[in-house]
Chain A
């Protein structure tokens, strides 16, 4: 099991342990309150459904600053439990998430390509 699990018996949450210590690039993600949709913090402090629109912080300090921007007063009206995760530069798409978990969150279930973000993207062409 991963690090950083805390209390609450029925649904234990991962704290912000989705980045390795030496992570250089990070983004902030959360789930949207109304429907649980995976969202990312964008440069204008809005939440976007698309990973490619996420602001990427370069370096640990920028990461912490980005996370701080994700939790202004009242943020809970929009999203649940924002956290930092690690991204890496990618030749084709600019950046991509590092862990399988975050890749799956960014796309949708690998066993149902007709569902989740991946399906919407196809529909849009």
Chain B
């Protein structure tokens, strides 16, 4: 895994001490809140409804056991015994006291973690496929280029004052698990006809109040020219992006207003200049150096089949079911990828206790080469588990209520913190996810319904990705009362699409019934083996709408 070099260490340590001084001056009254607020936001400290919130970056979603243990320790010592894994592959703590945050950050720095680039108008931490380096048919581990981008963008002087925050995601696999088309820049690692590896670059995706699917600006950027191309995109954005109105400042608006063709021309002109200067060619030695950090772990040579695994499945139906839903084929024979659901039936999506985090860290250490991943769907992943060890891992997960076999099903909803915590919220999101999960608690019913992605946001900022939910739910406020608007047919994968709003919003008392009506409508309309999203794309909004608003 990537380790900070000396420079980074010093830099992060200095940032912590700087922040300690700033907090002291704020508490003594020397600094006003106006002066202090941007400083605390730069360090990942937000004010929520009941307390401060600290957001800790987990770059491209990769964690070691040592890091997860530290996160558990922080949950216990500085917070209320839990953390919340978010759709940005971050963890958030909901209750830290301001005066103790510098100590907390110093502890994080001990395990090479920080809260930099989790806030502000900079290039935010790069997100990537949670199955990186583990999934079969991957063209290249996306974390290599993610790390190169991270190093290029962190504290890049030209990019520390962008018109608005900037989010980049990378996938190395044809099946997109990183929602790359909903990022300011989305990168797909591809192979051309000559067999060379390069990058497809999508620009201008985003959610929030004006959602857009990114436009593919480049089909194939050669490997050594990616930073030059990205720099070109950033320059065009920096020059032309709107700074007059924060709602119109994201690059998606620039791409939309400029038009795809014109935008491509502008970027290519800029790219030609940078490319000619050769300033940003990444030296092969540097690529090799970073690549080594992501070298596959020392896998054993194992047979494709495991007798112990087969027997355990035959003996334990619960285990067999969990394997079907939560375990994914690995690139290496005899290994598998394990998804740990943080969506127990009726639970809070994405929350994990200190004890659970420690148990997971232990499993990663014992069975998964010390590696863990965080997914943007608010679950965790043990990326490299031997088939022989699956039963032992499962049994431990069961003990800690971490073995819910519901990945990709209706109870695996994502939800932003909403009005239970968030200062910007219009309505609660978490209780809705819980009620839906309880309504569809029967697993057999969930399996019959099949893949169905519900995504819930408590306001139009769309932190809960509602625009791209197969069923999206958006909380709205009417005179201090919560209402919920439904959209259908969104998707965040390689066939990304934005949902269609059904119409009039529902109350807290009627929204879960409405979801059930939609599910029943789908079950009635589907062809054999058709997923919800496929049925929706075939029949369109009308039949759903008719049932939903029939008196």
Which of A's residues lie within 8 Å of B, judged by CB?
1-2, 7-14, 20, 31, 33-38, 74, 76-77, 80-81, 86, 98-102, 104-105, 108-112, 115-116
Instruction: Find B99's partner among A14, A20, A34, A99 (CB 8 Å cutoff).
Output: A34
The reply to whether B165 and A9 form a contact with Cβ atoms under 8 Å apart is yes
Determine the residue in chain A with the shortest Cβ distance to B420: A109
Closest CB pairs A-B (n = 9): A99-B480, A36-B51, A109-B420, A77-B29, A36-B52, A35-B97, A111-B430, A10-B41, A10-B119
Enumerate chain A residues within 8 angstroms of B48, measured Cβ to Cβ: 36
Q: CA–CA, A112 to B353, complex, Å?
A: 13
Interface centre among A35, A102, A105, A110 (most CB of B within 10 A): A35
- Distance from B238 Cβ to chain A, minimum over Cβ atoms (Å): 16
The reply to whether B41 and A76 form a contact with Cβ atoms under 8 Å apart is no
Type the 1/0 row for B392-425, where 1 means its CB is closer than 8 Å to any CB of A: 0000000000000000000000000001110111
Q: CA–CA, A74 to B95, complex, Å?
A: 25
Enumerate chain B residues within 8 angstroms of A20, measured Cβ to Cβ: 479-480
The reply to whether A110 and B481 form a contact with Cβ atoms under 8 Å apart is no
The reply to whether B420 and A76 form a contact with Cβ atoms under 8 Å apart is no
Q: CA–CA, A14 to B319, complex, Å?
A: 49
Q: CA–CA, A10 to B52, complex, Å?
A: 14
Q: CA–CA, A115 to B165, complex, Å?
A: 32
Type the 1/0 row for B438-460, where 1 means its CB is closer than 8 Å to any CB of A: 00000000000000000000011
Enumerate chain B residues within 8 angstroms of A7, measured Cβ to Cβ: 246
The reply to whether B423 and A100 form a contact with Cβ atoms under 8 Å apart is no
- Distance from A74 Cβ to chain B, minimum over Cβ atoms (Å): 6
Residues of B64-82 whose CB lies within 8 A of A: 80
- Distance from A39 Cβ to chain B, minimum over Cβ atoms (Å): 11
B222 contacts chain A at the CB level, 8 A cutoff: no
Known contacts: A10-B119, A38-B49, A101-B49. The answer to whether A81 contacts B420 by CB under 8 A is no
- Distance from B83 Cβ to chain A, minimum over Cβ atoms (Å): 13
Enumerate chain A residues within 8 angstroms of B361, measured Cβ to Cβ: none
Q: CA–CA, A110 to B435, complex, Å?
A: 13
The reply to whether B29 and A1 form a contact with Cβ atoms under 8 Å apart is no
Q: CA–CA, A94 to B52, complex, Å?
A: 30
Q: CA–CA, A36 to B481, complex, Å?
A: 24
Q: CA–CA, A49 to B26, complex, Å?
A: 21
Supply 19 further A-B pairs (C-beta < 8 A) apart from A38-B50, A108-B50, A109-B421: A1-B460, A2-B477, A7-B246, A9-B121, A9-B164, A9-B249, A10-B46, A10-B119, A11-B37, A11-B47, A14-B423, A33-B26, A34-B97, A34-B99, A36-B98, A77-B27, A111-B420, A111-B431, A116-B50
Enumerate chain B residues within 8 angstroms of A76, measured Cβ to Cβ: 29, 32-33
The reply to whether A9 and B29 form a contact with Cβ atoms under 8 Å apart is no
